[in-house]
Amino acid sequence: MKCIYCGCTESRVVDSRPTDDGAIRRRRECENCRRRYTTYEKIEMLPVFVIKKDLRREMFDASKVRNGIIKACEKRPVSLEAIENLVSEVETRVCQQPDQEVTTDQIGIMVMEGLRNLDEVAYIRFASVYRQFKDVESFMQELQELLHAKGPGEPEEGHAEG
């Protein structure tokens, strides 16, 4: 780090703390002039491109993921915090992939995995749009898979047995 007062490249960190926007605020003291100054460090994220079904490419936009999840969770007992956590989880997974490109299919699968654990009705809503069921049979097959994955004899959430 270069001192803003004398240009010396030697400094020591006096204080360091995270900021609300994910940056790190560091208070530094120049080894030469002994004056203090503040720097902010933020991890630079490389852009990730989404490959659409028609093979167009556009930059990943977490707000599109959020909008799809919100629409699927409409009138469901899913908190905004749970939705934001799922959006963050998907965004993190997308950004941590080794490639700088991800397909809409990969993103859709990530969202469905999260919704399956969050709310089954929201999951089915999202899956019905994402998978574009051609007929009732394919929709029923998805429901059967969901019920089968739940296991026999397991009560639905929110319903007590007995």
Residue 18, classed as helix, strand or coil, is strand
**DSSP run (H or E) holding 16:** strand 11-18
- Which pLDDT value is given to residue 133? 67
List C-alpha distances in Å: 140 to 30, 80, 125. 68, 29, 13
Q: How many CB atoms lie within 10 A of CB 33?
A: 13
* Average pLDDT of the residues of the chain: 85
The residue with greater pLDDT, 32 or 96, is: 32
Contact 146, 115 (CB under 8 A): no
In this structure, of 43-57, 70-84, 105-119, the range with the lowest mean pLDDT score is 43-57
CA atoms within 13 A on the CB side of 9: 0
